[in-house]
Amino acid sequence: MQEYIQRNIDVELLEWKDNPMRKPLLLRGARQVGKSSAVRHFGKEFQFFAEVNFERHKTVKTFFQGDIDIRLIVQKIAIYINVPIEEGKTLLFLDEIQECPEAIMALRFFKEDYPGLHVIAAGSLLEFTLQELPTFGVGRIHTLFMYPMTFDEFLNANNENGLISMKRQADSQHPLDAAFHEKLIEYFRIYLLVGGMPEAVLAWIKTHNFNQCSHIQEDIILTYEDNFSKYKKRVSPDLLRTTLHGICHQPGEKITFKQISADYRSSQIREAVRLLTLAGLVIPVIATSGNGIPLDAEANEKNMKILLLDSGLLLSVLQLEGNLAQHLVDLIMTGSPKDLVNKGGLVEMVAGLELLRNKPCVQRQKMFYWEKSGNSIAEIDYLDTFHLKVTPIEIKSGTQGGMKSLWQFMREKRLTEAIRCSFENFGEFTYTDPQADNAKRHITIIPLYALDNLREMKLQMDSSLRPPHAPLV
């Protein structure tokens, strides 16, 4: 049996299990990010684990046809797979549920007709099926989104829990010892190459051989491309493949459709991007004015950067095109931290992925950046909200003087706080802006390997804004 690597979603699943207001759970995410493995591991918390795979057990689809009687359907499934399905004792797992839209529609009735039964559904390319359904139980189904492994999950897989603990305790006032800082940088270099796909991470743990990881990444990419024919019959698989590969050539950059392909219209490429986004393979980062929250109120979806879901897969795509990834590999392994941040766009992409994966997984998260064109071009890599205020996040290794875009943005939006992510240790500094009556700009420095810390920082900031409980009388 394949070894299981602990995931952040394990905690979410345990909380769902013990919630008396529990609803049927729909687990969503790209293929091979570990959804089924996480559920099977979670199944060990129950006396019985009943799994139905609609790709494998095609005849089970007939149980969901006609009038929906949930208890009768469950009884039939129990007999068919020869596993007891009992309230409070069994986890029922409906895998590859996109193959049976009737089962998706029936999920909501589990809450009404069999509320004590633990039911989880998951599937590949699930989003395409959900789009075609008029409703699938809004308010009666709980959703969790799953992604490739975060850097902290990668560290945990390497049994570096001590490093994780020390990193989470560090802050701008208490930076890490130099030895631990350097060790985390080296691990982050490895993470850039291996990525966060569970199978590739497992290969690294077992072999410490990048070539073994690369073979797995290539297989995953080919699997994705083989599935392109299922995306939509009117969209060419060649268009989807061309778009995916074109995105990989522009990591961390504003997407230019003409650079992706001259053989397709911009509208066709935009549709391909939409479908790849639905499949979870890419994540758009949308331009916004950044004038206030919510950030999407003034978003402009015509301008975007696009992140591939995993750095290891990006390198694999480039490698499949004839060793185009070699310069990035060399940079990752031997380049200075400054060069690694400022060249190639890969680190900016991974930083964005870390920001995304450390957001709450109960909803589909959106990513934003800021740009300003004109006589001088300015750009902020990512925008987020902290303390109910827009907060710029820059991925930089440079000095204060190399942060003109950040000072411009903060000046225009009258902001006093920003975050810089780099391979520097934890720290902070204050910049006196001579172009804004010497206004003070406070910059918090977060190492790239510690972007998980932002989640806790955000929770602390947001909680400080909540009104205190009224005194007891």
**Residue-number span of the structural domain to which 409 is assigned:** 367-461
423 inside domain: yes
* 131 and 220 within one domain: no
Does residue 304 fall inside a structural domain? yes
The pLDDT assigned to 137 comes to: 59
Backbone angles phi, psi at 323, to 5 degrees: 60, 25
In a domain, 466, yes or no: no
Q: Please state whether beta strands 299-308 and 378-386 pair in parallel, antiparallel, or not at all (unpaired).
A: unpaired
Q: What is the pLDDT of residue 465?
A: 44
Residue 433 has a pLDDT of: 92
End of a domain among 145, 160, 184?
A: 145
Q: Which residues contact 124 (CB under 8 A, 6 or more apart)?
A: 30, 31, 96, 98, 227
Q: Which pair of structure tokens corresponds to residue 427?
A: 């720290």
On the 0-12 / 13-18 / 19+ scale of CB atoms within 10 A, 335 is: middle
Q: Are residues 300 and 316 in the same domain?
A: yes
- Determine the pLDDT at residue 95: 97
CA 269 to chain centre: 23
**Residue 43 DSSP code:** G
What does the alpha-carbon distance between residue 397 and residue 431 come to, in Å, rounded to a whole number? 16
Domain count, the chain: 3
Q: Does the residue 362 lie in any domain?
A: no
Residue identified by tokens 């929770």 is: 459
4 domain-assigned: no
Round to whole Å and give the CA distance between 197 and 201.
6
Same domain flag for 241 and 333 = yes
Q: Which of 128, 145, 162 lies at the terminal end of a domain, its last residue? A: 145
Domain identity same for 133 and 156: no
Domain membership flag for residue 156: yes
> What is the greatest pairwise CA distance in the chain?
76
Ranges of the chain with pLDDT below 70: 1-2, 136-138, 320-325, 344, 374-376, 397-401, 458-473
- 103 class by beta-carbon count within 10 Å (0-12 exposed, 13-18 middle, 19+ buried): buried
Per-residue pLDDT, 464:
47
Assess if residue 473 is contained within a domain: no
Q: Which two tokens stand for residue 128?
A: 């395409």
- Contacts for 163-169: CB closer than 8 Å, 24+ residues apart: 163/187, 167/449, 167/450, 167/452, 167/453, 168/450, 168/452, 168/453, 168/456
pLDDT of residue 466: 45
- My answer on whether 21 and 98 are in the same domain is yes
Residues 312 and 419 grouped into a single domain: no
Q: Which of 145, 170, 194 is the last residue of a domain?
A: 145
278 and 351 share a domain?
A: yes
Give the whole-angstrom CA distance, residue 37 versus residue 72.
Answer: 28
Give the N- to C-terminal CA distance of the chain in Å, as an integer. 59
Q: Looking at the structure, do residues 196 and 343 belong to the same domain, yes or no?
A: yes
- Domain check: are 156 and 302 in the same one? yes
How confident is the model at residue 374, as a pLDDT?
65
Question: Does residue 436 belong to any structural domain of this protein?
Answer: yes
Whole-prediction pTM value? 0.92
The answer to whether residues 159 and 72 belong to one domain is no
Do 264 and 170 sit in the same domain of this protein? yes
Residues 164 and 289 in one domain: yes
